Amino acid sequence: MKKALAVVFVLVLALALAACGNDANKKSEGVMTYAEYDAAALDTQVTIEAYVQAKQSWWDDKATVYAQDPDGAYFLYNMKCSEADYAKLTPGTKIKVTGYKSEWSGEVEIIDATFEIESGTWKAAAKDVTSLLGKEELVKSQNQFVCFKGMTVAASKDADGNDAAFLYNWDGSGQEGNDLYFNVTLNGETYTFTVESYLCDSSTDVYKAVKELKIGDVIDLEGFLYWYNGVNPHITSVKAAK
Amino acid sequence: MSGLKRRLAPVLLLAALLLPMLASCHGARALEAFEIPETFDTSRTYEITFWAKNDTNKHQTRVYEQAIAEFEALYPNVTVHLRLYMDYGRIYNDVITNIATQTTPNVCITYPDHIATYKTGTNVVVPLDGLFDDEKYGLGGSEVRFASPTRSEIVPQFLDECVIGEEHWAIPFMRSTEACYVNKTYVEALGYTLPDVLTWDFVWEVSEAAMAQDEEGTFLVNGQKVMIPFIYKSTDNMMIQRLRQSGSGYSTADGEILLFGDDTKEFLYTVAEHAATRSFSTFKISSYPGNFLNAGQCLFAVDSTAGASWMGSDAPLTDISPENIVPFETAVRMIPQLDPEHPQMISQGPSVCIFNKRDPQTVLASWLFAQYLLTDAVQIAYAETEGYVPVTTRARETEEYKDYLARAGEDDTDHYAVKILASELLLAHTADTFVTPVFNGSASLRDAAGQLIEKVTNSVRRRETVDDAYMEKLFTDVAALYRLRVGNQGGSATASEKEELGPLPVPAVVLLSVLGVTWIVIASYAAREFVKKRRKSASVS
pLDDT of B43 over the 50 cut: yes
Compute the Cα dihedral for A91, A92, A93, A97 and give only its sign.
Answer: positive
Considering the domain boundaries, does residue A151 fall inside one?
yes
pLDDT of B280 over the 80 cut: yes
pTM above 0.90, yes or no: no
Look at residue A25 in the predicted model and tell me its pLDDT: 83
Considering the domain boundaries, does residue A4 fall inside one?
no
User: Which residue segment(s) compose the domain that A54 sits in?
Assistant: 23-121
CB within 8 Å: A57 and B9: yes
Q: Does residue A78 sit in the same domain as residue A101?
A: yes
Mean pLDDT of chain B: 89
Distance CA B111, CA A138 (A): 43
Residue type for position B513: S
pLDDT tens per residue, range B434-445: 999 998 889 899
Distance CA B121, CA B440 (A): 11
Look at residue B532 in the predicted model and tell me its pLDDT: 62
Are B346 and B447 contacting, i.e. CB atoms less than 8 angstroms apart? no
Average pLDDT over residues B122-128: 96
Report the domain count for chain A.
Answer: 2
Distance CA B508, CA B502 (A): 13
Q: Does residue A35 sit in the same domain as residue A114?
A: yes
pLDDT tens per residue, range B65-83: 999 999 999 999 999 999 9
Compute the Cα dihedral for A81, A87, A90, A96 and give only its sign.
Answer: negative
The CATH number for A99's domain is: 2.40.50.140
pLDDT tens per residue, range B378-391: 999 999 999 999 99
The verdict on ipTM greater than 0.90 is no
Q: Which of A56, A57, A59, A61 to mutate to test the interface with B (most CBs of B within 10 A)?
A: A59
Distance CA B482, CA B122 (A): 24
Q: Does residue A132 sit in the same domain as residue A232?
A: yes
Distance CA A51, CA A34 (A): 12
Question: What 3-state class would DSSP assign to A21?
Answer: coil
DSSP string for residues in B470-526: HHHHHHHHHHHHTTEEE-SSTT-EEE-S-----SPPHHHHHHHHHHHHHHHHHHHHH
Q: For residue B13, which residues of chain A lie inside 8 Å, CB to CB?
A: 60
If we measure between CA atoms, which residue out of B437, B454, B448, B451 comes closest to residue B483?
B448
pLDDT of B23 over the 50 cut: no
Average pLDDT over residues B271-297: 98
Distance CA B40, CA A143 (A): 57
Residue ranges of B 302-341 with Cβ closer than 8 A to chain A: 319-321, 324
Q: Does residue A80 sit in the same domain as residue A139?
A: no
> Which stretch of A9-13, B368-372, B394-398, B479-483 has the lowest confidence by average pLDDT?
A9-13
Residue A201 CB neighbours (<10 A): 12
Average pLDDT over residues B494-511: 45
Q: For residue A166, which residues of chain B lie inside 8 Å, CB to CB?
A: none
Q: Considering only alpha carbons, which residue of chain B is nearest residue A110?
A: B285
Look at residue B534 in the predicted model and tell me its pLDDT: 56
pLDDT < 50: residue spans in chain A: 12-21
Look at residue B57 in the predicted model and tell me its pLDDT: 86
pLDDT of B528 over the 50 cut: yes
The more confident residue out of B28 and B322 is: B322
Compute the Cα dihedral for B298, B304, B305, B311 and give only its sign.
Answer: negative
Q: Where in chain B is the domain with CATH 3.40.190.10?
A: 12-19+32-175+348-406, 178-347+438-495
Q: Which residues pair with B81 in a beta bridge?
A: B49
Look at residue B494 in the predicted model and tell me its pLDDT: 60
Distance CA B518, CA B514 (A): 6
Q: Does residue A190 sit in the same domain as residue A93?
A: no
CB within 8 Å: B56 and A181: no
- CATH fold label, B178-347+438-495: D-Maltodextrin-Binding Protein; domain 2 (3.40.190)
Boundary residue ending a domain (A121, A140, A172)? A121
Q: Does residue A75 sit in the same domain as residue A140?
A: no
Compute the nearest-CA separation of B58 from chain A (Å): 4
CB within 8 Å: A170 and B56: yes
Q: What is the share, in percent, of chain B residues with pLDDT greater than 70?
A: 84
Compute the nearest-CA separation of B158 from chain A (Å): 28
Average pLDDT over residues B85-91: 87
If pLDDT is split at 50, 70 and 90, which confidence band does B536 have?
low
What burial letters (b/e) apply to B171-197, b meaning 16+ CB within 10 Å? bbbbbbbbbbbbbbbbbeebebebeee
Boundary residue ending a domain (A62, A92, A121)? A121
- As a dihedral over the C-alpha atoms of residue A86, residue A89, residue A91, residue A93, rounded to 10 degrees, the angle is -170
Are B89 and B10 contacting, i.e. CB atoms less than 8 angstroms apart? yes
Considering the domain boundaries, does residue A61 fall inside one?
yes
pLDDT of B284 over the 80 cut: yes
pLDDT of B496 over the 70 cut: no
When CB atoms are compared, the residue of A104, A105, A172 closest to B58 is A172
pLDDT tens per residue, range B325-356: 999 999 999 999 999 999 999 999 999 999 99
Q: Does residue A134 sit in the same domain as residue A212?
A: yes
If pLDDT is split at 50, 70 and 90, which confidence band does B524 have?
low
If pLDDT is split at 50, 70 and 90, which confidence band does B517 have?
low
Q: Does residue A137 sit in the same domain as residue A85?
A: no
pLDDT of B516 over the 90 cut: no
Backbone angle region of B226, left / alpha / beta, with phi > 0 → left and psi within -120 to 50 → alpha? beta
Compute the nearest-CA separation of B72 from chain A (Å): 20
CB within 8 Å: A45 and B11: no
**CATH class held by domain B12-19+32-175+348-406:** alpha beta
Q: Considering only alpha carbons, which residue of chain A is nearest residue B2?
A: A170
Considering the domain boundaries, does residue A101 fall inside one?
yes
> Which stretch of A197-201, B54-58, B152-156, B464-468 has the lowest confidence by average pLDDT?
B54-58
Q: Does residue A131 sit in the same domain as residue A235?
A: yes
Q: Considering only alpha carbons, which residue of chain B is nearest residue A60?
A: B14
Average pLDDT over residues B413-417: 96
Boundary residue ending a domain (A121, A154, A183)? A121
Residue A160 CB neighbours (<10 A): 9
Query: Please, what is the angle between helix B417-428 and helix B399-406, to 10°?
Result: 120
> Which stretch of A63-77, B236-250, B368-382, B473-487 has the lowest confidence by average pLDDT?
B473-487
Residue type for position B196: D
* Structure letter (DSSP) for residue B287: -
Distance CA A23, CA B463 (A): 36
Considering the domain boundaries, does residue A234 fall inside one?
yes
